[in-house]
Amino acid sequence: MYTIYFNYQSFFTVASLCYQTSVSARRVVLDGFLTYNSSATVCSCSLTSTQNTSVSFTSLNSLQPNFAGCDSSIRVQNKGTIFIIECFVTGTIAMSPSEAATLRFERPIFGCSSNYCMLLTPGKSYMQNK
């Protein structure tokens, strides 16, 4: 398990999916391209924020498996809100300083695409407080 922190002082940094990295930035890129080197079929990380905000998940430069049946998924959960990213990156989750969201990546041992490159960006509530 590794942690991604939203630090509103830094502008941008990268965390690798399924590798023990901790990052802190205003916007975070979650890179899944190295997962093909990993023997893990399941890994997870937590996402925290220092402010109440929503966090949007979008593909960076359209880098994502981008086809149905890629056989990998990322489950994003915070309190009662859950959404699953399967092959196409999209979604938003509400965050508060008191609760971390969990991201759980799953893939089969062979034959999947996990070429996710996701930009995690805080919503307007952060921008209004800046």
Q: Convert 99-124 to b/e letters by CB count within 10 Å (16 or more is b).
A: ebbebebbbeeeebbbbbbbbbbbbe
Q: In this structure, which topology does domain 2-125 adopt according to CATH?
A: Jelly Rolls (2.60.120)
Domain map (residue ranges) of the chain:
2-125
* pLDDT string in tens for the chain (130-residue length): 445 554 444 456 888 887 777 787 778 888 887 776 777 788 888 888 888 989 999 988 888 887 888 888 899 999 889 999 998 999 999 998 888 999 998 888 776 777 888 888 888 654 433 3
Record the pTM. 0.79
